[in-house]
Structure 1
Amino acid sequence: MPNTLGILVTMTTYGSWLRGDRRGWIDDGQLMPPCPALETADRVRMKHTQYKFQKDALIEVGRMIGESLVARQGQQILAMSVDTWHAHFMISATRLPIGDVVKCAKDAARYGLRPGRPIWTDGYDKRFCFDERTLANRIRYVERHNERHGWPAKPWPFIVDFDPIKPPVSI
């Protein structure tokens, strides 16, 4: 298996992207077609209303997530964006299980905001990058989310540039 250069993670907020969603949905890494009946059934089972971050809190939520990933796990964050209903972050290859990384990110926002209810959906999407072109394209994808908000591509100081000279971690 080739060396992993980076991992793009996408996390959605509670109730914002259910199974069966009209935009499609992910099941075990596979894109599934819309299924309105399934989406309706999942929505009926929700114990809380859909959660969205307030627009004026997005930078702060990103700060909480990024600082926690760096301080608690030593992650190198190559890109990050936070929107009202989802967040993306791209990290360099890591030896930690990706589930532990995502838990750290989700917990940081949850503890920081203390909403008294779920704010994240279960699970997450992950995309591994094995070559510099894919990595650069996915970093740019995340940066464009920030620019759509009128922010700089890298609005937090913990975001680092990818260093192709530093050897990647085999995972």
Structure 2
Amino acid sequence: MPPSMAYFLTWTTHGTWLHGDERGSVDRHNRGVGTPTALPEAERARLERDRAAGPAVLLSDEARAIVERVICRHCEIRGWSLAACNVRTNHVHVVVGQCGEYLPEEVMSQFKAWSTRRLREAGLAGADARVWTEHGSTRWINDEESLGRAVDCVLNRQ
């Protein structure tokens, strides 16, 4: 398959948006394009909280700035085109293009790994603390209209 024009990546901080959450969530049964999110389910959310490895992570203003700098710098180093980035207290949105043969999961993993490293160096995350959820949302963008919508979502609808 040829490389995508861009990727729309979203991931959450650890423990802040669990399966069963009242806002809905994405799981293995509710993740395809056009499928509804998993419905809120109080018991499932409670079980997820009980199983969580460590406390929920909310990013401070300083941590948010570090994560944004890491993403920008990583794109510069890799030669990727950063179309939009928005680091929130409990999630991150990135629209990135020109990633060559890297799959969106690999791009997201690199952003998460380097961000975690820099947060630890700044003393904003413990050596063993989980900062991010295990996966995230990885959408392929294959046309200019979709790219424009994704950038608008990241920059203007948060």
Q: Percent identity?
A: 26
1:20-77 CA distance string (max 9 Å, x none): 1111111242421112111110100112110011024322220012212431x33211
Which residue of structure 1 aligns with residue 74 of structure 2? 68
> Secondary structure at 1:26's aligned position in 2?
coil
Residue equivalent to 2:42: 36
TM-score normalised by length of structure 2: 0.83
SS in 2 for 1:40: helix
Contact 1:3–1:130 (CA under 8 A) maintained in structure 2: no
- Cα 1:4–1:100 shift into 2, 3 Å: closer
* 1:136 CA drift (Å): 0.2
Tell me the distance in 2 between the aligned counterparts of 1:105 and 1:128.
17
Instruction: For residue 90 of structure 1, give the secondary structure of its aligned residue in structure 2.
Output: strand
Is contact 1:11-1:87 (8 Å) kept?
A: yes
Task: Structure 1: give runs of 5+ residues left out of the alignment.
Answer: 149-171
Contact 2:9–2:94, Cα closer than 8 Å, also in 1: yes
Which of 117, 121, 143 pairs up with 2:155? 143
Structure 2 counterpart of 1:14: 14
Q: CA RMSD in A?
A: 1.9
Cα displacement (A) at 1:92: 1.1
**How far has the Cα of 1:13 moved from its partner?**
0.1
Contact 2:63–2:119 (Cα < 8 Å) also in 1:
no
Aligned residue pairs, count? 145
